[in-house]
Chains A and B, each alone.
Chain A
């Protein structure tokens, strides 16, 4: 029971609780806020695992970019005061039961599966395992493990999204 584990526990509790609250809260703006918390918690996990760049990307892009975008659109379309409409009990029950059954199945698999944890992992505190330098090398390399092609594809995709978003949301 070291400090790292305690931090993990706190983060895990935080993420689990806010995940559930995101989907159960009545106010949509609150749901967005709770999602933001969940994303922050996930970023915490990444930091805990030593993936600092991934964590910062998560905070910047997800929390800072996407969620803000969501909040904008919520305010644009329905307004902050807008509450989520009621759903029929039967539908909730059906969804809840199937969700819980799925969760049970997945947890059962996870817990009964013997993961071959890599040697030495988790014993020492995590350092910054992959530096930005390495990431840059991988992103632009054309080697066997290089990611130049996906990188370019994603850049084209993002460009297409910018244009597409403009075209779709433009007033006619």
Chain B
């Protein structure tokens, strides 16, 4: 018997690993990876809630589906931006992205 809590625990671990990575990473690409982790954990939550708590509905399922599509779009744009930054600055370290600061 797999309870809904079990999935949620795994998802929470994934989520907070992503948060930790977001806070500590220096490379923008690594930060994006962390964001993917967090997105993934929410997808899992959507699916789990749908499956375990409301099996007759489909909302969570479709949310997860659309979320995957949107994250694909997001990463495509993010990577385009990264490449552009790299071309201009020769680095994608967060600390170097300060042209627009103050």
Contact = CB atoms under 8 A, between A and B. Distances in A.
Interface of A: 4-5, 8, 12, 15-16, 19-20, 22-23, 28, 31-32, 35, 38-39, 42, 45-46, 48-51, 54, 57-58, 61-62, 65-66, 69-70, 72-74, 76-78, 84-85, 87, 91-92, 94-96, 98-100, 102-103, 106-107, 110-111, 115-118, 121-123, 129-130, 134-135, 138, 145, 147, 150, 154, 157-158, 160-162, 164-166, 168-169, 171
A155 B19 CA distance: 29
Interface in B53-96: 53-55, 58-59, 61-62, 64-66, 68-73, 75-77, 79-84, 86-87, 92-93
Nearest to A116: B53
The CB with the most chain A CB atoms within 10 A, among B43, B52, B79, is that of B79
B13 A103 contact: yes
Contacts of B26: 84-85, 87
A48 B51 CA distance: 11
A interface majority secondary structure: helix
Interface residues of B, number: 68
Contacts of A38: 14, 37, 40
A158 B83 contact: no
B9 interface: yes
Contact of A74 (B23, B29, B68): B29
